[in-house]
Amino acid sequence: MAEDLPPQDVVIVGGGVNGAGIARDAAGRGLRVLLAERGDLGGATSSASSKLIHGGLRYLEHMAFRLVREALAERDVLLRSAPHIVWPLEFVLPVSPDGRPAWMLRLGLLLYDNLAWSPRGRGTSLPRSRAIDLLAPPYSGFLRPDRARGFSYADCWVDDARLVVLCAVDADARGATILPRTEMVSADRVDGGWRVRLRGQDGALRDVATRAVVNAAGPWAGEVLAGRLRANASAAMRLVKGSHVVVPRLHPGAHAFILQNDDGRIVFVIPYERDFTLIGTTDTPFDGDPARVAIDEAEIAYLCRAASLHAARPVLPGDVAWSYSGVRPLHDDGSQSASAVSRDYVLELVGGPGASPLLSIFGGKITTFRRLAEHAMEILAPSLPGLRPAWTGGATLPGGDVPSGDFDGFAGELQRAHRDIPAAHVHAIARRHGTRALAFLRAAGLGRHFGAGLYEAEVDFLRREEWACSAEDVLWRRTKAGLHLSAEARDAVADWMGR
């Protein structure tokens, strides 16, 4: 017999960035919120992104001006709200003989700059684009000599998996119930609302009554909608696979490259985890099980070749140290190629006040998750009387309340206060946790050092405060220590987590 949970205003199915963002927004408006995620928080698409908070320069070619403007506005909101996990990144765009001409690139960048300035006169804090000499430091060394001209512009980097977890942490702090490794197995309409059945990792069943359901299941949204919610949607979804490779560091500078491939697509080459370079992404149609998505040899070859078209030294498949893949659940706009499908989102409501409201999410990109959550609340508001006003636009994410938003100053003070710990380790901990790092850095010792700056005290904190249950949760999502640790050290973390 199933146990009854306390009644809720909203039950959210899916713990990716959209589900966690909606849970945070709704809990902060005074709603009773429960989020159920079948796996780990951010365990699928939301931790397999290109790790960018950006307007989407290439979307300008598809005339997606509204999407780019909204994304650029959100870029600055997120930069202010989470300076520990979101930070500015310079992008270098070379002019290549067989790519888009220099005048076209310059025109696109000028438009990108102008879209970053709001009509109310409030501008971005990031620098405008400019022409640069790619044979001069700090840009020289990586590119072929015939890539001498180019442009520089700014966007932002994000630790995508930590963004998801911190949204969930904030929702939890505001009263939401966060249930990772909990599957929604069925839902029935009852008295203008829903009765949802959940199954935990231990197999135990629990029922919860709720006024509204949000289907934020990402690539599984169609399956959840038709199979478990027994509902239909007019919006169609298109699954697109995106893969990335990680290779040893290709260039010493802190800047990234955005490279034009000879098929008309672009590929990012981004500094990653101090010692590595991230190359991505692919865009290929996908029709398998999203839980089993993995990079294939053709994608590895594609990404290495795309980088090698511009690099002074070739990037070879044998250089790949790690790879990851995700399935993007895009709204099908009828585009012929996977790379041209819009990254905009569609929210579809079935039912309404007194009629079992069900909101399904199709599409979207990590940059606009906060605005998507606000939009979701606007749609559900008639079914949830008494909803408080929107609030996340001026709020910080957990750990983001560093003095004056100056992360470097905060990290420097933390390093000076903990001289017994290598400065690089303290800096990495500060990056992951911001001011929340004080919760375990002030404890009586950090305990065992597994390597790569990962200490027992942090692992215990991740398990206690951030729902980490396995070594994979710790090593590849909440931190990226798995890239730096030996197999023996990774096994030691697994043994410690299994105790």
* Structural domain count, the chain: 3
Distance CA 467, CA 462 (A): 7
Same domain, 249 and 325: yes
**300, 330, 360 - which closes a domain:** 330
pLDDT value at position 120?
A: 46
Mean pLDDT by 10 residues, the chain (499 residues): 89 98 98 98 97 93 89 95 98 92 95 79 79 94 92 97 98 98 96 95 96 96 89 82 97 95 95 96 93 97 97 97 95 67 84 88 94 97 94 97 95 94 95 95 85 96 97 98 97 94
pLDDT value at position 499?
A: 82
pLDDT value at position 239?
A: 94
Distance CA 455, CA 439 (A): 14
- Element housing 171 (H / E): helix 160-173
Distance CA 16, CA 465 (A): 18
Same domain, 323 and 415: no
Question: Any residues with CB less than 8 A from the CB of 464 and at least 6 apart, and which?
Answer: none
Same domain, 115 and 248: yes
- Beta-strand ranges (E) seen in 159-233 are 177-179, 182-190, 193-200, 205-215
pLDDT value at position 98?
A: 85
Domain span at residue 147? 81-157+238-330
Tokens of 209: 């009554």
Nearest alpha-carbon partner for 328 in 221, 168, 218, 201: 218
**285, 310, 330 - which closes a domain:** 330
Nearest alpha-carbon partner for 307 in 136, 476, 92, 142: 142
Q: 307, 139 in Cβ contact below 8 A?
A: no
Same domain, 376 and 409: no
Q: In this structure, is the dihedral angle defined by the CA atoms of residues 307, 309, 314 and 317, taken in order, positive or negative?
A: positive
- CATH code (residue 193): 3.50.50.60
- CATH code (residue 273): 3.30.9.10
Distance CA 443, CA 102 (A): 55
Distance CA 262, CA 110 (A): 24
Same domain, 243 and 326: yes
Same domain, 153 and 169: no
User: Residue written as tokens 């041209």?
Assistant: 340
Q: Residue 86: inside a domain, yes or no?
A: yes
Distance CA 494, CA 262 (A): 43
Distance CA 373, CA 376 (A): 5
Q: 357, 383 in Cβ contact below 8 A?
A: yes
* pTM score: 0.96
**330, 356, 374 - which closes a domain:** 330
pLDDT value at position 335?
A: 66
Q: Judging by DSSP bridges, how do beta strands 345-350 and 358-363 pair with one another? A: antiparallel
In our burial notation (b when 16+ CB lie closer than 10 A, e otherwise), range 473-485 reads bbbbbbbbbbbbb
Distance CA 231, CA 163 (A): 31
pLDDT value at position 121?
A: 40
Same domain, 151 and 280: yes
Residue 36 buriedness (CB in 10 A; 0-12 / 13-18 / 19+): buried
